[in-house]
Structure 1
Amino acid sequence: MGLFDRFFRSRNVAGIARDTLEFALSSAEDTHPNEYMGFMRGTPAREFDLGEEIHPDDYVVTDVLVIPGTTSNEMSATVDNNMIPNDMRTVGSIHSHPNGVLRPSDADLATFTSGSVHVIMGAPYRTSDWRAFDQEGEPATLPVLDVDLDDPEAFFDFDQYDIDDELRSGDTY
């Protein structure tokens, strides 16, 4: 099992939080004309009041994790694999195409092998300027959900004890 295989686990993704999508679009616009790159993290749907249509074990994309040391230019973004944490909640990737093309490139397809959903955003980064894809690069449905998210600073409020406790619990976030 490789690093990416441990980092990404196939999960059913019910949707993406509106605030998370808006954050990613804004970040991509701020990075323009260079590519933006991040990893999408999910929270179990049972954490939100989403009704019976969504299975409680499905995930809602609630965070975008930008890896330190990521470099980008107008044609690509490169992640330093040594900096990727073993985050059990990662469900896929999100990146921008500054040229506005909302289709995966051959290079994108090579990175789509891990995770269950991948998002490409394109200039000018409006709420309609993105598409979701599955591992094979086929269009995927990713509804935008209105959910209340925790304080983003809470993401950083953990220590090694919390990590060890999550691993011991066998929870497969």
Structure 2
Amino acid sequence: MLKRVKGIDRSLMEMVNQAARDSLPNEFMAMLRAEEGVVSELLLVPGTLQGNDSVLVMLHMLPIDYTVVGTIHSHPGYSNRPSRQDLELFRRYGMIHIITCLPYDEHSWQAYDHQGLSIELPVVDL
């Protein structure tokens, strides 16, 4: 049964933006874990390959984990709009997806649903 995601932890979003800055010029990607409707953890997938215009995630390496609700990744430019490849991933895996972009701050990310439509995702303090 899918659980509704109603927010993301502020410190987690700050950590993701720092990981994105540290990964430049490559993209960063991780899976999102939620408890009680709040995204509060990342799951790094073994074997993930980072590049400057894509990330190759070995989805078969994911453990069985019903707390995983979607993905988060960075774009090394100033657009947080999903690419064609991003939309394909959104359709295949998870219900919420986040893309962050330069300058990797609290205003540079956007959440999307599995169809690639922009959604509001409140930032909460845990």
Q: TM-score, normalised by structure 2?
A: 0.95
Q: Rg bigger for which structure?
A: 1
What is the correspondence of 1:143-158 to structure 2 with a 5 Å cutoff? 143-147=122-126
Which residue number corresponds to residue 100 of structure 2?
A: 121
Which residue number corresponds to residue 116 of structure 2?
A: 137
- 2:75 partner amino acid: H
CA distance in structure 2 between the aligned counterparts of 1:14 and 1:96, rounded to whole angstroms: 21
Q: Structure 2: which 5+ runs fail to align?
A: none
Matched residues, percent identical? 39
CA distance in structure 2 between the aligned counterparts of 1:12 and 1:65, rounded to whole angstroms: 19
- 2:68 partner amino acid: T
Q: TM-score, normalised by structure 1?
A: 0.70
Task: Give how far 1:36 is off.
Answer: 0.4
- 1:122 partner amino acid: C
Q: Structure 1: which 5+ runs fail to align?
A: 1-8, 45-58, 148-173
User: Cα distance 1:141–1:40, how it changes in 2: closer, same or farther (>3 A)?
Assistant: same
The CA RMSD measured in Å over matched residues stands at 1.1
Describe the SS at the equivalent of 1:112. Answer: helix
1:97 matched to 2:89 = no
Kindly indicate which of the two structures has a greater share of residues assigned to strand: 2
Runs (4+) of structure 1 moved beyond 4 Å? none
Kindly indicate which of the two structures has a greater share of residues assigned to helix: 1
Which residue number corresponds to residue 18 of structure 2?
A: 26
